[in-house]
């Protein structure tokens, strides 16, 4: 995703993102990880082309991509490995935490399967150091059941998004444009407003929930201080997080 200035407001625009992506590749780069953020697919054609040119692995973060399509192909089907989240906030949600990884590569499949179960082969043979990341059978059943409702959930969310974009006429609130190559799963709905806090207060008067995702840009979190980034290193992300980005769940 890239950020472009349009009508004085910074907008996320995934179509220009791939060009910036190529500039960021260094000798140390091993993989590209497109994030289908909010359910809006990344431009996978351009990303795959760059990955091929630089011989890089593509790992899709399809955590929010369940039910989204790019050029009629489901997100998560482009990369070598793709991860989906079934966290309760997602369109396909488990009873608590859950998720799954898909891959078309047998070597990755075997390694991931081992890793998610403490690296155990059988009951008594730890092949690698792993974690406990097994999806329990109860949640797998729940997800199978809820999968049948996924299309109608996305349809309902899309209808709500259409209502917002049709009814909200003011230039003070901006939405991301639709793109004919992309079917958005609308896990979240993004609105941009310079006076975000005022807008949130206004919405709450009508019991319309809105949330800020996220107040702290990634590079300013304590946990990643070791990377050496500081305030000002990502001015666009900082500007967005403080001023213009709100998301209404629908």
Ligand X SMILES: Cc1ncc(COP(=O)(O)O)c(C=O)c1O
Binding residues (CB under 6 A) for ligand X: these are 35, 37, 61, 63-64, 85, 87, 97, 99
Q: Shortest gap between Cβ of 41 and ligand X (angstroms)?
A: 13
**Rounded-to-10 torsion of CA 66, 70, 71, 74:** -30
**Smaller CB separation from ligand X, 142 or 173:** 142
**Smaller CB separation from ligand X, 18 or 65:** 65
Q: Shortest gap between Cβ of 53 and ligand X (angstroms)?
A: 25
Decide: 189 and 204 in contact? Cβ < 8 Å: no
What are the residues facing 20 on neighbouring strands? none
**Smaller CB separation from ligand X, 63 or 244:** 63
Q: Shortest gap between Cβ of 219 and ligand X (angstroms)?
A: 16
44-53 helix and 17-24 helix, angle to the nearest 10 degrees: 20
Q: Shortest gap between Cβ of 3 and ligand X (angstroms)?
A: 17
**Smaller CB separation from ligand X, 9 or 135:** 135
**Smaller CB separation from ligand X, 127 or 213:** 213
**Smaller CB separation from ligand X, 58 or 61:** 61
Q: Shortest gap between Cβ of 7 and ligand X (angstroms)?
A: 27
Q: Shortest gap between Cβ of 92 and ligand X (angstroms)?
A: 11
């Amino acid at each position: 995703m890239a950020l472009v200035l349009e009508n004085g407001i910074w907008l996320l625009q995934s179509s220009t993102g791939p060009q910036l992506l190529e500039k960021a590749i260094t000798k140390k780069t091993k993989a590209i990880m497109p994030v289908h953020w909010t359910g809006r697919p990344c431009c996978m054609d351009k990303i795959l082309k760059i990955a091929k040119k630089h011989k890089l692995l593509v790992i899709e973060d399809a955590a929010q991509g369940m039910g989204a399509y790019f050029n009629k192909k489901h997100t998560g089907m482009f990369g070598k490995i793709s991860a989906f989240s079934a966290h309760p906030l997602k369109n396909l949600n488990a009873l608590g935490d859950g998720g799954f990884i898909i891959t078309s590569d047998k070597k990755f499949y075997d390694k991931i399967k081992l890793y998610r179960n403490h690296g155990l082969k059988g009951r008594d043979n730890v092949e690698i150091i792993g974690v406990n990341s097994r999806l329990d059978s109860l949640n797998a059943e729940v997800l199978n059941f809820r999968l049948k409702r996924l299309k109608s959930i996305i349809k309902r969310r899309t209808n709500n998004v259409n209502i917002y974009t049709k009814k909200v006429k003011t230039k003070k609130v901006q939405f991301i444009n639709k793109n004919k190559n992309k079917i958005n799963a609308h896990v979240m709905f993004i609105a941009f407003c310079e006076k975000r806090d005022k807008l949130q207060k206004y919405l709450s008067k009508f019991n319309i929930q809105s949330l800020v995702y996220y107040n702290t840009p990634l590079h300013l979190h304590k946990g990643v201080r070791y990377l050496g980034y500081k305030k000002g290193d990502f001015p666009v992300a900082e500007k967005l997080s403080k001023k213009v980005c709100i998301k209404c769940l629908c």
